[in-house]
Amino acid sequence: MSHPSRKYNPNDPQRERVYIAERCVDFPRAPEFQSLSEIRAFAQQVLRSPTWEALSRHTLQDGRGVVVKLGRGRRAVAHNRLVGDPAIILPRASWRRWTIFHELAHCARGKLTANHGPQFTASYFRLIHDCWNPDLAHRLQSEFERMRVRVAPWAPIGHEVPKPDPTSVGVSRDEGADLPTEIAQRARDVTYQKAMVAFWRKVRAGAFKTK
């Protein structure tokens, strides 16, 4: 999460559309926690889930913890630091579950990227779906579709989560910058679209339900 009015960033092309999608979902706007310790307890539960284990397996090598800190202003941010666990910095106004899932989804990307690419949106969807509220997750998914926000295909929990493969999963500038444009474009247009259609069909059919 960062300030919605910031300008379009070519290195993070989905950012504004992710923010718009979030605003269109009925996420609670008011703070939902009373203290940082409540948030830390909540984050701990998420970090112990099989979903977090699957999301962070390839990305967080030096421990799977996340540090929760108080921030200033209105903006929540995530830092994937060079040493130690990633951190999320939360001003009081952002003490809401959906914001925490958003920042945790950044953390789950490890040092790979700090932006809002297809791997991020897939992690964000999974966390909300598995650890909070599947209905809200599906609302978010619909808004992503409406805003043409790309979401990487995902493996069911309990299976190995594939490493991002820019030739077969969508390519964004952040995650496939070194690919020839032609290949990137083809991957985007054909493979990605097919994979997404198959993926969401399975999600809708309830294939990935964990309970």
Whole-number minimum distance, CB 106 to Zn ion, in Å? 6
116 Cβ neighbours under 8 A, 6+ residues apart: 12, 14, 15, 18
In the range 1-40, which residues lie near Zn ion by CB under 5 A?
Answer: 1
Choose between 1 and 68: whose C-beta lies nearer to Zn ion: 1
CB of 185 to Zn ion, least distance (A): 26
Closer residue to Zn ion (CB): 9 or 191: 9
Nearer to Zn ion, 125 or 208 (CB): 125
Count of residues of this chain found to bind Zn ion when the rule CB under 5 A is applied:
1
Contact between 203 and Zn ion per CB under 5 A: no
Q: Which pair of tokens denotes residue 86?
A: 């990633």
Task: Kindly tell me which of 117 and 170 has the beta carbon lying closer to Zn ion.
Answer: 117
Burial of 58 (0-12, 13-18, 19+ CB in 10 A): middle
The CA distance from 121 to 192, in Å, is 14
CB of 54 to Zn ion, least distance (A): 21
C-alpha torsion angle, residues 168, 174, 179, 182 (rounded to 10) = 80
CB neighbourhood size of 137 (10 A): 21
Closest contact distance (angstroms) between CB of 99 and Zn ion is 9
Q: What share of the chain is helix, strand, coil (3-state, %, to 5)?
A: 45, 5, 50
Gyration radius of the chain's alpha carbons: 16
What's the min distance (Å) between Cβ of 115 and Zn ion? 8
Q: Which CB sits closer to Zn ion, 1 or 88?
A: 1
128 near Zn ion, judged by CB under 5 A: no
d(Cα 20, Cα 41) in Å, to the nearest integer?
A: 29
Closest residue to Zn ion, Cβ-based? 1
Which residues contact Zn ion by CB under 5 A?
1
